[in-house]
Amino acid sequence: MVTVIAGLKGTGKTKYLIDVCNKTSDGASGSVVCIEHGQKLKYDINHGARLIDSIPYDIRSYQVLRGFITGLYAGNYDISDIFIDSLYKVSGNDDSHECEKFLHWCDTFGAENGINFTITISVGDDKITDGMRKYMRK
């Protein structure tokens, strides 16, 4: 399952992601991973989740991000939830159609492997595609 939290900067997306990630990691039977760009969540995400700064891994495309996530899973089949804060920054790509393809991949990969994805995207309504909208939280 994929849940997208989208909106412009300052609308509370990251705060929501932090709250959900912490609640999930408190009661998770599997491993919880949170991927961020930089180390701004270092003191907000509890120790029950594995926090990964994407910058040292030089992720510059959705293709590389897919490989990164696949590698995480290959190293730990117990991952139940993956949180990604600021997808456009983590992926290095703000193309809405490429984002839509990535979300579809997450949905397929997650369904095949029992992984839930929660992803924040800083984007205005005018840039949200129908394919992105289908994953947005209700």
Q: What is the full per-residue pLDDT of the chain (138 aa) written as tens digits?
A: 999 999 888 888 999 999 999 998 987 788 999 999 999 998 899 988 999 999 999 999 999 999 999 999 999 999 999 999 999 999 999 999 999 999 999 999 999 999 999 999 998 888 888 889 999 976
Against a cut of 0.85, is the pTM above it? yes
Task: Check: CB of residue 121 under 8 Å from CB of residue 17.
Answer: no
Which residue spans within the chain are E strands per DSSP? 2-7, 31-36, 49-53, 79-84, 116-122
- CATH no., domain 2-133: 3.40.50.300
- Closest to 21 (Cα-Cα) out of 95, 124, 118: 118
